[in-house]
Amino acid sequence: MIRFDNVSKRYPGGHQALSQVSFELGEGEMAFLTGRSGAGKSTLLKLIMLMEKASQGEIVVNGKNLARMPREQIPFYRRRIGVVFQDHQLLFDRTVFDNVALPLQIEGYPKHEADRRVRAALDKVGLLKQEKMNPMALSGGEQQRIGIARAVVNRPQILLADEPTGNLDPELAAEIMHLLEQFNQVGVSMLIASHDLSLITRLSHRILTLHNGQLINDATYRVPSAATHDARTDRGTEAST
């Protein structure tokens, strides 16, 4: 679904955000992207969203080479990808319902169809009762769930999340992660950037670790039911620590 082939990103001014990153995320796969602040997690997601272009290497998403995508195609490409942000990026001049409906309005869904989908998405994140409220009146966890509802309302094939639990306490964070897992279970490919290692190692998913822009580890953790830390399988990338 997502393939990075020796991708590097150097920002104007010389900052090397990513160097020679290669990995592949299969269809329906869920992976975490971790590393310290500044390791390149956000840059990697931005490259997939075409908010930035790679300086070197090839990124192929759903069979499309991003380097060759014309500018006017970008909006249509983005409609197939749901994104969840740390700061939610909600609009406070409209209701919860209208926030979630935005991607459908943009794509031009008939109102009845859009309404149905928005309610389904809100139901899924447990906010159906709050649909008429302003997101400002809701808690951080609830706002994040609005953001998730908006990301999935269009039934994207890929869901990206940038520190979706960054501002939440551990309990809420776990709740959000479990919610995201449910979408993965219905087949959505997922890449979630998070530095919350204690949380993500408890979930049995693949973890990509970035350090100074390099992919230094790519491993899948098993749920530590047997409490054995060796229950991980290294995929072995070109990088090492």
Footprint of another protein on this chain (CB under 8 A)? 27-28, 49, 51, 72, 75-80, 83, 89-91, 93, 102-103, 105-111, 113, 120-121, 123-124, 150, 152, 154-157, 183, 186-188
Among residues 14, 17, 31, 12, which one has the least CA distance to residue 158? 31
Q: Which residues pair with 215 in a beta bridge?
A: 210
* Joined tokens for residue 111: 């109102």
189 versus 209: smaller Cβ distance to another protein: 189
Least distance (Å) between residue 237 CB and another protein: 27
Cα 10 to Cα 20: distance, rounded to the nearest angstrom: 11
Q: Cβ closer to another protein: 190 or 207? A: 190
What does 38-100 look like in DSSP terms, one character per residue? TSSHHHHHHHHHTSS--SEEEEEETTEEGGG--GGGHHHHHTTEEEE-TTTT--TTS-HHHHH
Please, what is the minimum distance in Å from the beta carbon of residue 230 to another protein?
A: 32
- Which CB, 68 or 112, lies closer to another protein? 112
Q: Please report how close the Cβ of residue 111 comes to another protein at its closest, in angstroms.
A: 6
Shortest distance in whole angstroms from residue 117 CB to another protein: 8
Is 28 or 166 the residue whose CB approaches another protein more closely? 28
* Pick 22 or 62: Cβ nearer another protein: 62
189-193 and 158-162 beta bridge pairing: parallel
Q: What angle do CA 17, 19, 24 make, to 5 degrees?
A: 110
Q: What is the DSSP letter of 223?
A: P
Strand pairing partners for 165?
none
Q: For the CB of residue 234, give the shortest distance to another protein in the complex, in Å.
A: 27
